[in-house]
Structure 1
Amino acid sequence: MDTYLVGGAVRDKLLGYPFTEKDWVVVGASPEMLTTQGFIPVGRDFPVFLHPDTREEYALARTERKTGPGYAGFTFHTATDVTLEQDLERRDLTINAMAEDQDGQLIDPYGGAQDLADKQLRHVSPAFAEDPVRVLRVARFAARYHHLGFTIAPETLTLMRTMVDNGEVDHLVSERVWKELERALGERSPRVFIDSLRACGALARLLPEVDTLFGVPQRAEHHPEVDTGLHTLLSLEQAARLTPSTEARFAVLLHDLGKGATPEAEWPRHIGHEQRGLALVDTVCRRLAVPKDYARLARHVAEYHTHCHRARELKPSTLLRLFKALDAFRKPDAFEAFLLSCEADARGRTGFEERDYPQADYLRGALRCCQAVDNRDIAAQGFTGKAFGEALDRERQHRLHQYRASHSLGEPQ
């Protein structure tokens, strides 16, 4: 029985890139041999075990055979005669098909080390095309390592495009698409994930509401980049600069979906795109089974991002309605994510990348004014029930009038 470190830990160790998880492959062993040594079985589809002390994953060396469409359409074979090279051959990319033995020696039968040096994301074998999840994984690795200069090898991108054309990605289950999208949004360059999916045609299959934005023009005086799809990518770049929040980055990705539904006769204006976008945001979130917090923020940003941009023009009554709609009094963290999403939208325009966004601080200050109202003072005046809420709102609006008067209105940027 021989044990090898495999996959991401080997790759990132050679790259000098931080990693925390270690995965192991065991060659020449049976499930009974591992359980006898105290390993805990956890795999449902094939034998995977947790080490009794480190809780790291140990998988028996295996081969696989395509038996049906999609991610789940495989049968797996494990036996004591399956070799390490056979196990590595079934992996997606050459940089993920390397191993290290117990003496620290590199085992690299498919040229992963050279592809690391060449900064290429290249598939190991034609079997890559059997698993549609790999289209998403390659796009995610492209987003992770873009800042290091990595690109998808031309032949791998061609294969990904063929998989899309053959309908393989249409068999992806929504939960897996969301899992890969969420992970990609947390990478250093999430825009590259979208770029890569679009380059192979998968974006139109998986996120058609986003793909539709490319080619839709906007008014050049407000959006020098003109193209709405490009604006979305620029905004996503800014979101990645401003916050690690994947909730905010997801909201930015969907914030202008309504512009994709604007009748062409109205281009390049998009009056009412905020409301048009809500149904599209809901459609995406339902299709991908998006968590409620993500969906709620995406909806808020789609509906109210132009309110944020015009913050210093809003009347106190409108400001108060905005805070209530955003649930800002009870969920200050979500309100902050909303502000950062709107700032990313404002900066996601050619030539505006370094422009200040004072609207966010203005709204933060306005919310603090409302929060400064002491409910006990309202209650001491004898107000209860519905009358209490009305009196509280009157006092909040009074404070907002004072706040607005103390700030120069100017022109929003």
Structure 2
Amino acid sequence: MRIYKVGGAVRDRLLGKPVTDIDWVVVGATTEEMLAQGYRPVGADFPVFLHPKSGEEYALARTERKSGRGYGGFTFHASPEVTLEEDLIRRDLTINAMAEDDQQNLTDPYHGQRDLEARVLRHVSPAFAEDPLRVLRVARLAARYAGLGFTVAPETLELMRQLSESGELKALTAERSWKEISRALMEDQPRVFIEVLRECGALKVLMPEVDALFGVPQPATHHPEIDTGVHTLSVLEQAAQHKQPLTVRWACLLHDLGKGLTPEEEWPRHIAHEHTGLKLIKAVNERFKAPKDCQELALLVGQYHTHGHRALELKPSTLLDLLQSFDVYRRPQRFEEFIAACEMDARGRKGLEQRSYPQADYLRGAATAARNVAVQPLLEKGFKGPELGEAIKRERLKALKAYKEAASA
């Protein structure tokens, strides 16, 4: 029995990056031998075991062959005869197909170290094209390592293009896709994830609503970058630079989908794109079964982001409706995330990345003014039921009028 550290742990150590998750592969062992040493079995599809003390996962060396569609369409074979090289060749990229023993002696049959030094993401074997999830995974790694100068090898991009055209991407489950998408959006350069997907044709399969934004012009007065797709990537870039959470980054990606529906004869204007885009945002949310908080914020930002930009001009009644829509009294964090998404949208424009956004503090102040309306005096006056609700609304409107007057003074 020989045990090796494999995959990302080896890659990141060689890159000088912190190692978090460690994958182990065991060569020359049987299931019975693993159980005899106290390892606990966990894998239903193939032999994976938990270490009796550390709890880390140890997998028996295995080979695999394609037996069906999608991520799960594989038959695995694990036995003591399977070599380390045979196990490594089934992996996605050369930089993930390296192993090291407990003395840090490197086994690198597919030249992963050379590709690390050349900053290239390259597939190990033609079997890469058998797993459609790898399209998303490579795009995610491109986003993670773009800052180090990594690019996708042309021949790997071609295989990704073939996968995108084959229909295999449609066999991916929503859960697997969302796991890769959500992790990619939280990388330092999430725009690279979208760019790589677009370059290999996967974006128009997975998110045709986002793909449709490229080539759609906007008024140069407000959008010096003009192209709506380029703007969307810039907004996402701002969200990453400002360390925004996943909810905000997801909303930033989807906020302008309605512009993809504007008839060409109306370009570059996009009247009511906030409302036309809602059905598209809902469709993308449902396709990937995004978490509820991501879904809700994306829809709200899509509908109200132009309200955010025009906050200083809004009538008190419109401002109150906006606050009510977000339920700022019970869910203040969601409104804070909306403000953040609006600010990223305003900054995601060529040459305006450092612009100030006074609307943010104005909206926060409005929420505080409305939230500070005391309910107890209204109860003491005998208001209850629907009448109480109307009385609270009147007082909040009064508070917002006073707030707007004070802010304008």
Provide the TM-score with structure 1 as the length reference. 0.97
Give a deviation string over 1:255-301, Cα, whole Å, max 9, x none: 00000011111111101000000000111111111121111000000
Q: Is residue 390 of structure 2 the alignment partner of residue 390 of structure 1?
A: yes
| One-letter amino acid of the counterpart of residue 358, structure 2 | P
Question: In structure 2, what is the equivalent of residue 64 of structure 1?
Answer: 64
Distance 1:244 1:61 in 2: 40
Within a 5 Å distance, the mapping from 1:162-181 to structure 2 comes to 162-181=162-181
Amino acid paired to 2:334: A
List structure 1 segments (4+ residues) > 6 angstroms apart after TM superposition.
none
1:173 positional shift = 2.0
Q: Aligned partner of 2:34: which letter?
A: L
Deviation digits for residues 50-71 of structure 1 (CA, Å, limit 9, x no counterpart): 1122111110100001112221
Residue 403 of structure 2: aligned partner: 403
- Is 1:23 the equivalent of 2:27? no
Aligned-partner Cα distance in 1 for 2:209–2:397 = 38
Distance 1:187 1:263 in 2: 34
Q: Indicate the residue corresponding to 2:116 in structure 1.
A: 116
Contact 1:277/1:302 (CA < 8 Å) preserved in 2? yes
Bigger shift: residues 289-298 or 203-212: 289-298
Aligned to 1:206: 206
Deviations 1:118-158 (A, max 9, x none): 11101111110111111100000000011111111111111
Secondary structure in structure 2 of the residue aligned to 1:269: coil
- Is the CA contact (8 Å cut-off) linking 1:243 and 1:340 kept in structure 2? no
Tell me the CA shift for residue 244 of structure 1. Answer: 3.4
Which digits, 9 at most, give the CA deviation of each residue in 1:305-344, with x for residues without a partner? 0000000111111111111111222111111111111111
Structure 2 residue 159 is the aligned partner of structure 1 residue 152: no
Gaps of 5+ in 1: none
Aligned to 2:257: 257
Structure 2: runs of 5+ lacking an equivalent:
none
Higher mean C-alpha displacement, 65-74 vs 255-264:
65-74
Does the 8 A contact of 1:99 with 1:107 survive in 2? Answer: yes
In structure 2, the partner of 1:102 is 102
What SS does the aligned partner of 1:274 have? helix
SS in structure 2 opposite 1:406?
Answer: helix
CA distance in 2, matches of 1:53, 1:200: 44
2:152 aligned with 1:143: no
- Aligned-residue offset at 1:402: 1.2
Query: Shift in Å at residue 377 of structure 1?
Result: 2.3
The Cα of 1:407 is off from its aligned counterpart by 1.2
Partner of 1:91: 91
Partner of 2:189: 189
Contact 1:242 1:340 in 2 (8 A): no
Q: Secondary structure at the match of 2:408?
A: coil
DSSP-derived class of the 2:64 partner? strand
1:128 aligns with 2:132: no
- Which has the higher mean CA deviation after the structures are superposed, 184-193 or 376-385? 376-385
Amino acid aligned to 2:320: L
Instruction: Provide the C-alpha distance between the structure 1 equivalents of 2:215 and 2:35, rounded to a whole number of angstroms.
Output: 57
Question: SS of the residue aligned with 2:294?
Answer: helix
Q: How far does residue 235 in structure 1 lie from its aligned partner after superposition?
A: 0.7
Q: Relative to structure 2, which stretch is displaced further, 147-156 or 166-175?
A: 166-175
Matches of 1:373 and 1:53, distance apart in 2: 57
Report the Cα distance in structure 1 between the residues aligned to 2:34 and 2:293, rounded to whole angstroms. 41
Distance 1:408 1:191 in 2: 38
**Bigger shift: residues 63-72 or 252-261:** 63-72
- Distance in 2 (CA, whole Å) between partners of 1:163 and 1:274 is 34
Cα separation, 2, equivalents of 1:39 and 1:377: 66
What is the CA-CA distance between 1:19 and the residue it aligns to?
Answer: 2.6
User: What pairs up with 1:277-292 in 2 under 5 angstroms?
Assistant: 277-292=277-292
**Does structure 2 retain, via aligned residues, the 8 Å contact 1:258–1:278?**
yes
Q: CA–CA distance in 1 between the matches of 2:189 and 2:207?
A: 18
Q: 1:360-408, CA deviations, whole angstroms, 9 ceiling, x for partnerless residues?
A: 1110011011111222222222211111111111111111111111113
- Alpha-carbon distance between aligned partners in 2 of 1:371 and 1:166, rounded to the nearest angstrom: 54
Partner residue, 1:347: 347
Distance in 1 between residues matched to 2:328 and 2:4, nearest whole Å: 51
Deviates more, 1:252-261 or 1:49-58: 49-58
Cα distance in 2, alignment partners of residues 324 and 120 from structure 1:
50
Corresponding residue SS for 1:21: coil
Deviation for aligned residue 1:113: 0.9
SS in 1 for 2:356: coil
Output the amino acid matched with 1:304: Y
For residues 356 and 244 of structure 1, the distance between their equivalents in structure 2, rounded to whole angstroms, comes to 17
Secondary structure of 2:389's match?
A: helix
For 1:300, the aligned partner's letter is L
CA deviation vs aligned residue, 1:6-62 (integer Å, no higher than 9, x gap): 111111111111231111001111112112222121112111111122111110100
* 1:152-205 deviation per Cα after TM superposition (whole angstroms, max 9, x unaligned): 111111111122222222322222111111110111111000000000000000
Task: Look up the match of 1:325.
Answer: 325
Same amino acid, percent of matched pairs = 61
User: For each residue in 1:188-244, what CA deviation from the matched residue of structure 2 results, as whole angstroms up to 9, or x when unmatched?
Assistant: 111000000000000000000000011111111111111111110111101111233
2:29 counterpart SS class = coil
Q: Give the secondary-structure state (helix, strand or coil) at the position aligned to 1:244.
A: coil
TM-score computed with the length of structure 2 as normaliser:
0.98
2:359 aligned residue:
359
Moved more, 283-292 or 307-316: 283-292
